[in-house]
Amino acid sequence: MKWMLIAALAMCASAQQSSVVVQVDYMKVAPGKTAEYVKAEEAVKTAVHQDRVKKGVINSWSLYAVRFPSGASREFDFATVTVYPDMSKLEQPFDAGHRNSMRDTGVGPLRSLVRSDILSPFVSAGAVESAWPWVTVNYIKAKPGMMADWRADESEAWKAVAEAQIKGGSLKAWVAGSVVWPAGSSREYDFVSVNARETFVQKQTPGAQAMGSRAANRSARHGEAIRREMWRLVSRTTPR
């Protein structure tokens, strides 16, 4: 199954495929250049990323606009989410022709790369392969020595909450992944989870709120969500 971390992270192949990795690149757009940037990324998608999908270098590529937080001072404005079939594809992600095509689109001067994450998805629920228009991205920091505990929280308690919300129609898909790179105890967050839905406002599912409270009480012993963001899907490649 193709995987997108909805986000993915959209951006997707099934999170059950343990070899799949997701690269998230956070982009800051030059002031007043948003429309030009989106147009340039569309050109890159057509000339480069769709060809990478065709050749099996990547499973998918997606562009997201950050809806919240808003304002000129936010850290990044867009995120690109690239799903690779395995880590080895990251060694040479572009060939010479791709690099030339990217340069020809003029996308480089329109944005700067703030940072990149490499994620390894490990649990999911719902139709993660679909392109849902709205996603909430949660960044989680585990307490020292409790990485395995938080992973268990996601795989058990939070997956159950997501499945209840999906069954009730308030959620379409959910996925959680661990941060592979950057590594080290000083990194800002250790896990990323993504909730995907069709509408801007998420509906409430009877019973799921109580389940969420119990899951939050359980996982509070092991870590915390340090930040939440809302993204809107702008564009993505088509499957092979």
Tens of pLDDT, residues 94-151: 999 999 999 999 999 999 999 999 999 999 999 876 678 999 999 999 999 999 999 9
User: How do 60-68 and 134-142 pair as beta strands?
Assistant: unpaired
Give the number of other Cβ atoms within 10 Å of residue 81's Cβ. Answer: 29
Expressed as residue numbers, the domain containing 34 is: 21-236
Cα–Cα distance for residue pair 4/131, rounded to 1 Å: 8
Residue 94 lies inside a defined structural domain of this protein: yes
CB-based contacts of 62, cutoff 8 Å, min separation 6: 4, 5, 7, 8, 10, 11, 80, 81, 82, 131, 233, 235, 236, 237
Whole-angstrom CA distances from 82 to 25, 175, 195, 216 are 8, 15, 18, 30
Tell if the pTM clears 0.85, that is, is over it: yes
Q: What is the DSSP letter of 196?
A: E
- φ, ψ of residue 132 to 5 degrees: the values are -80, 140
- φ, ψ of residue 206 to 5 degrees: the values are -55, 130
Q: Does the N-terminal peptide bond of residue 182 adopt cis geometry, omega within 30 degrees of 0? A: yes
What is the pLDDT, as a whole number, of residue 72?
82
Residue 8 lies inside a defined structural domain of this protein: no
Tell whether the model's pLDDT for residue 180 goes beyond 90.
Answer: yes
Residue 160 lies inside a defined structural domain of this protein: yes
Tokens read off for 34: 């948003």
Cα–Cα distance for residue pair 194/192, rounded to 1 Å: 7
Residue 25 lies inside a defined structural domain of this protein: yes
Q: What is the DSSP letter of 77?
A: S
Cα–Cα distance for residue pair 205/174, rounded to 1 Å: 15
Average pLDDT score over the chain:
90
pLDDT tens digit sequence for 129-141: 667 899 999 999 9
Residue 3 lies inside a defined structural domain of this protein: no
Residue 11 lies inside a defined structural domain of this protein: no
Residue 110 lies inside a defined structural domain of this protein: yes
What is the pLDDT, as a whole number, of residue 129?
67
Domain with 146 in it: what CATH number?
3.30.70.100
Task: Tell me the pLDDT band of 240, cut-offs 50, 70 and 90.
Answer: confident
Q: What percent of the chain has pLDDT over 70?
A: 92
How many domains, in total, are found in the chain? Answer: 1
Residue 9 lies inside a defined structural domain of this protein: no
